Chain A
Amino acid sequence: MTESLELSMLLLSSVFWLFATSVGVFFWGQRQGKLAYWVIATGVFILFISCLVAWNQAYFINESGFQSSSLIKGWVLPREISGALLVGVALDPLSLCSVTLLSLIVLSLFFQKDFLGPEKHPARIYSAIGISTAGISLCWTSITPALSFVGAALCVFGGFVATESRWDLEDEAEGITRFVWEKIWGLMIAWAGGCIISGSRNGWSWHEFVQNAPAGGETHEIFGAIVLVLGLFVQFHSFPFSGWAIRTSQENAFFRVLLNQVFPGWAALSILLKTEPLFRPLNVFSWVGWVAIISCLLTIATGLVQRTARISNASWISAGLSLSLGLLSFRGAAEAWLLGMGVGLAGLIFSGIVIALEIQAPETEIHPQKSNLIKILSFFGISIGVGLIGFISFGGVQSWILHSLDHGAQLTLSILVLLFFGIHGWGLFWKVFQHRGKTAASWSFFATLMGWVLLGAGLIWTGHITGLAPSESTHPLLKYFKSIQWKIDPGNEAGATIASGLVFAINLVSFFVGFWLNNRRYGVFERFRKAAPRVVEFVGEGYHIDKTAQLAANSIIKGSRWIEVYTEEKWMSQGVLASGAKGLNYLGRWLTQADEWAAQKIYLLLRIFTDGLARFFQWLQCGDLQWMLLIALGSGFLLIAILLNI
């Protein structure tokens, strides 16, 4: 990588500007709605323009291809010191593509107001958009864990700010708290994992992690890597952390998906993609992949039995992000990126459709075109996520199937997972297809969604009309993936055709199964719900993980109260201190009694000794023999004795 500051600094400055203005809007924008709108829109526009400038400078002008640029500095302690935390950003095709995509999505939100719906405080939403966009841009461009975690934390903060208008509602407050602490838990766990890895190596940079060989502490590194992946996995809201995603909420369906689910999920995905070259030699992915796939299947089951499209969509996105982690493990970063971005984009389009359906038109009005448009859009939207040929996720899914062709078990697993994932996705489409409501959403709203559908086209991202990711592609993103030795498809044309056919067949089957499951005429789910209500409830409520966790938390709290009572009150206050005080009291009393006894004895002893002497003196004083005589006689005898030298 070229150590040049300009391009990285340009993007970093625009990210910082966006963050600063968003924080300003958060504080002072409440009463200046219009100004807030313009400030944030300008900030996002600047970010987008700096992406274009970077593309222009780094790729189009330079004939030799994309020149990555990076900037890395010691943030906490100088770079060469052991344990130093570093900050660094890199402009490579991956980060640039991702930031361009998300800045384009966010920018398009500012062209019409239907996304906002009946929002009480639009300025706070704008602020949240700005903070989250800055955060996720930082995550994608960062090459150091420190900055990645700052970015991820900003995404969580943005998600929190977005819910501001519902902070005063009891259920919503519960959900928001749940969202924040779960996300922060995930980040803290992931960050602890980063610290553990960093403890066994010098420097805290993804780049240096990749370059430096393990320094004799492989066990620590494996543990650190597992902890890091676990923390980031929490961000996906997949099983067993799906509690928040399946909560009923009155929050704006679109922003809930964008700011609370997709952006934090993408932020976590960006970190996972960067750590892939580190984890691969540690063999961490061998079991992470299986865990992610099982989690994906269980999340799909939860999503399938949901009654509302918005919760089902949330589960589907979570399952998709989990699946992209599976792809990262079994295949590589390119495939994971293609699926992860595809699922996020599809989820956003679908949540836009949910918003459109919530914008009810009067019964007298007829909007046939829009009704059909909704159906078309939902079809294309889901296609982007499920890996239909021609769309972004196809490259990822097809590559997985292609590389599973020679491994029976893996092929079966991949087909099974993709089938269920497709059934869930197409089920969402059929739910919308049957919707009879009318919408008053504007044409520009649909144009925006259509623009996102175009963004999901495989041609843009892989340079291939089908969305296939061939190894010899001239597309800068794929060249980049190859240049840093991340796996991409080898040119196995025969295998690719079989794999593409299989992916198509899976989609076809899941399309019809989705129809059969969701069609009112057959009412499969309704029948199943009646036949086994407890099972449906168990699966639908995320396998009661939340209830169990709540019970466990309550038990811990009760336990801690018990420990506190027994250690603080019973043991320390009533036990040690009270018995200590009692003991001192006893000691004091005993000493006093002993003192009295000793005093009496000493007095008695003294009396015995002094009594005789006193009587003698008394006899002297009161008797016939006088003092004077005694002294005279005594001194006389003494004098004679001295003179006679006796």
Chain B
Amino acid sequence: MNNHLISWMIALPLLGVLLQAILPEKDPERMGFVARWIAIATSLAASVCAVVLVGGMNSPQAELQGTEFIQWVGLYAISYEVGVDGLNALLVLLVATLFPILVAAEWDQKVGARGLFGLFLLLQSSFFGVVCAQDLFLQFFFWAMTAVPFYFLIGIWGGEARESAAFRFIVSAAIGNALLFAALVLVYYSVDPHSFSLKELTGSKFKDKTLEVLGGSISVPVFAFVLIGAGLALRAAIWPVHGWFINVAKEAPLTVFVSLSGVMLPVATYIFMRLGYSLFPETMPTVSGVIVGIGGLNLLLGSIFALAQRNLRLLLGYFSMGEVGLLLLGIGSLESAGSIGVVYQQMVLGLGVAGFGLFASLLEDRVGHCEFRAHRVEDRPLGGVATQAPQIALISAILISSLLGIPGLGGFVSRSLVYIGAYPSHPAAVSLAVLAGLLATYYFFTMYRYIFLGPAGRFQARIHDLNIREQAYLFPLVLMLLMCGVYPKPLLELVRPTVLTLLSTVK
């Protein structure tokens, strides 16, 4: 039976976009006010649908729940097939949590509020779609759709070099999408009857298929897997194809960068995990070493690059880039603890990165930039903020602690599971991950010291503590991270059955 709630969840933000589009041009101030309320109302309504959907899930069940199926392009077996299971439920919650927060964070936006909120809503809808889609074509459709709002958000509301950053982003996204699409078409034609349905493609449906090229034969699963990996790597900021991401970190509005690093990166790894575990169960064990190796390298390089940063944006950028490595480490572990940990980390990382990005945004709003370090003490832009703004100090301490995986916070649980799961088969990569964690501890605490401790910086007078609106969107985020750290069991119980079922086919 079709569950319309999931479709409402995807469609409500689109309704918001439509309403934004038909708002009259007259009286921009009043229309800006209306646009804000439309944005927050539709975004929150979609989030409520998401929470109800995930809350109503039957946790011991591994199969898809809350599904909806409609034939879309019947001729080519393309359907609108959506649903939630343990693999995507936490990401649904992540998207549901972050987008209303991002809308609230941009509440005072003066320039083109309608457009900005409309694009955010389009992003929310697209991400809900990508995460819930159970048809490869539909998933690709939503995934490709996420690139467009980002392009405009960076290109219009970004910094001085925004055009270049937006261009680099869209070129990377286009190439990545092209590779992914090529893989999907290859998969589609490799099964008989042709299908895009994940349910029908799950298992080793085309494991013996080969492709004749220049007299030689290439294994279809391996070729398609490489194409998918390469296509997603371009969008998940994997080293060395991460240049666009750092460029975007410098130029994009921080809320946009938050959605990029806090949502897009985890979602990219989710697609990789979903397709890898479902479509290529025979290939995954063979390439797991490579995946873990790339993950370990990413983690280490991300940490080393972050070590040298004096700017919060770049620090966050390199940290996020490195953390994708941890997700790959968990995916490649092919162990229950590691795989469950990675699903949990996708959500916890998204929340933590988003919180940290919003904290950087708070400082940027007050001070005008994100620099936190200078050679001489008297040149230091920030310092002693803890005494002036204790709430910001406390919230950022909790966010950093969660990102580092300090006990009692969400990051601790997910990192522990990834380490426990990955160590037996990939000890070197886990050692690299621990080393990266130690480096992260050093640079995060050094950053904290320069901003919050010590004598007052040059811009101290501009610093003030959180206002009610900021409290309203930051406190729930922090509370969620605390809850994820203190009582993770209900969420992990949702994840476990699906992950175990998928892993049983992989092994």
Contact = CB atoms under 8 A, between A and B. Distances in A.
B413 A217 contact: no
Contacts of B55: none
Contacts of B336: 81-83
B423 A196 contact: yes
B308 A557 contact: yes
Interface in A79-103: 81-85
A76 B243 contact: no
A621 interface: no
A177 interface: yes
Interface string A181-208: 1001101110110011011100010000
B292 to A, nearest CB: 14
Contacts of A561: 308
A251 B301 CA distance: 38
Interface in A566-583: 567-568, 571-573, 577
A563 B304 contact: yes
A556 B436 CA distance: 13
B304 A556 contact: yes
Interface in A492-535: none
A465 interface: no
* Among B305, B407, B441: residue with most chain A CB under 10 A: B407
A199 B496 contact: no
Interface size class of A (residues with CB under 8 A): 35 or more
Which secondary structure dominates chain A's binding surface?
helix
Interface in B346-383: 377
B246 interface: yes
Contacts of A373: none
B285 interface: no
Interface stretch (B18-26, B274-282, B451-459): B451-459
Interface stretch (A41-49, A145-153, A425-433, A625-633): A145-153
Contacts of B437: 188, 192
Contacts of B434: 188-189, 192
A184 B449 contact: no
Interface string B167-188: 0100000000000000000000
Given A167-B386, A168-B454, A184-B404, A560 B449 contact: no
A220 interface: yes
Nearest to B387: A168
Contacts of B424: 199-200, 217, 220
Contacts of A76: 413, 416-417, 488-489, 492
B337 interface: yes
Interface in B440-469: 441-442, 445-446, 448-449, 452-456
A85 B419 CA distance: 12
Which secondary structure dominates chain B's binding surface?
helix
Contact of B430 (A177, A196, A553, A572): A196
A639 interface: no
A604 interface: no
Nearest to B409: A153
A176 interface: yes
A220 B445 contact: no
Contacts of B446: 177, 181
A599 interface: no
Nearest to A26: B394
A154 B441 CA distance: 17
Contacts of B442: 181, 185, 553
A556 B445 CA distance: 16
Contacts of A567: 240
Interface in A194-228: 195-196, 198-200, 204, 217, 220, 223
A85 B453 contact: no
A146 B405 CA distance: 12
A195 B384 contact: no
Contacts of B449: 173-174, 176-177
A561 B240 CA distance: 16
Contacts of A192: 419, 430, 434, 437
A168 B456 contact: yes
A63 interface: no
B423 A77 contact: no
A156 to B, nearest CB: 9
B34 interface: no
A195 B308 contact: no
Interface in B301-322: 301, 304-305, 307-308
B423 A220 contact: yes
B289 interface: no
B416 A195 contact: yes
A236 to B, nearest CB: 18
B421 A564 contact: no
B294 to A, nearest CB: 16
A553 B442 CA distance: 10
A169 interface: yes
A208 to B, nearest CB: 14
A240 interface: no
B408 interface: yes
A637 interface: no
Contacts of A180: 445
A159 to B, nearest CB: 14
Contacts of A146: 407, 416
B427 interface: yes
Given A76-B413, A168-B456, A153 B408 contact: yes
B246 A568 contact: yes
A195 B243 contact: no
A188 B438 contact: yes
A192 B336 CA distance: 18
Nearest to A563: B304
B335 interface: yes
Contacts of A185: 438, 441-442
A188 B404 CA distance: 9
B395 interface: no
A60 interface: no
Contact of B407 (A149, A173, A557): A149
A170 interface: yes
B340 A77 contact: yes
Given A174-B449, A189-B438, A195 B406 contact: no
A572 B240 contact: yes
B421 A199 contact: yes
B407 A577 contact: no
Nearest to B442: A181
Contacts of A187: 406-407
Contact of B416 (A154, A191, A571): A191
B93 interface: no
Contacts of A553: 442
18 contacts: A75-B488, A76-B489, A77-B496, A82-B335, A83-B338, A85-B416, A169-B454, A170-B454, A173-B453, A181-B446, A185-B441, A187-B407, A188-B441, A196-B419, A198-B420, A199-B419, A568-B305, A577-B243
Given A168-B454, A169-B455, A191-B416, 16 more contacts: A75-B489, A76-B492, A77-B337, A77-B489, A150-B408, A153-B407, A176-B449, A184-B404, A192-B419, A192-B430, A195-B423, A199-B337, A199-B421, A553-B442, A557-B308, A563-B304
